[in-house]
Amino acid sequence: MQLATTWPILKAFATERNLSIQWIVVNKIYYLAAIDGQIELTTQIMITDPPVPGSYQQDFENNYKASGNGPTITYIDQPTPDPWLITPVDSNSNPFSISNPFPTSDGVQLINKRYDTGQATYPSPTQEVYITYIGGISGTPIQQIVINYVDSSKNQLLNWQRSNWNGSAWEVS
């Protein structure tokens, strides 16, 4: 669901949920979005040169622009009992990745706890991190799967690790 709002509401939403604000510029207007699961807040800020002191433009440029447009690939899945199947290597030795998103059923079931939302991030060209939650992206973390590849082609799996959230830190399982 996409909701148009104001800059103060969008930045509070993004800050409370630790989201990266997505932005583009078209015809001297910032188009901004903050996405949490199926909820997307959007707004626009006119660009002036120089920025008006104390304006929304100045606030965005000084405090949010540099950290914006970060990885925010978020997947929403239906609540389990069917846990999300991520297969690091299928029967043909093909690693799971965005280019191979539908692993075969003979792989390893990495996520084995109930969840209602999953988020994928890509901290480096050779690493994928998947975190599942109960209660949406801002809810309780459940499991974290880290997949490391030999190089950025993602043609060869280096290793993977499953961790469970114990309430204050990730514990390797």
Residue-level pLDDT at 108: 53
Q: Confirm whether pTM is higher than 0.75.
A: no
Residue-level pLDDT at 111: 65
Distance between CA atoms of residues 86 and 50, nearest Å: 49
Residue-level pLDDT at 71: 61
- Per-residue pLDDT of 124-153, as tens digits, reads 888 888 888 888 778 889 888 888 888 887
Query: Residue 63 — pLDDT band, cuts 50, 70, 90?
Result: very high
Q: What are the extents of the domains in the chain?
A: 2-63, 74-172
Distance between CA atoms of residues 10 and 81, nearest Å: 34
Residue-level pLDDT at 134: 83
Can you tell me whether residue 143 is helix, strand or coil? strand
- Per-residue pLDDT of 68-101, as tens digits, reads 887 654 444 434 333 344 444 444 545 444 444 4
Of residues 123, 146, 131, 20, the one with CA closest to residue 77: 131
Distance between CA atoms of residues 72 and 94, nearest Å: 25
Q: DSSP E strands: which ranges in the chain?
A: 2-4, 22-26, 29-36, 39-46, 74-76, 117-124, 127-134, 140-149, 157-165, 170-172
Contact 46, 57 (CB under 8 A): yes
Q: Give me the phi and psi of 146, to 5 degrees please.
A: -115, 125
Contact 163, 171 (CB under 8 A): yes
- Per-residue pLDDT of 19-48, as tens digits, reads 889 999 998 999 999 988 778 889 999 999
Q: Tokens for 97? A: 């990745």
- Per-residue pLDDT of 111-123, as tens digits, reads 667 777 777 788 8
Q: What is the mean pLDDT of residues 54-60?
A: 96
Residue-level pLDDT at 128: 83
Amino acid (1-letter code) at residue 79: P
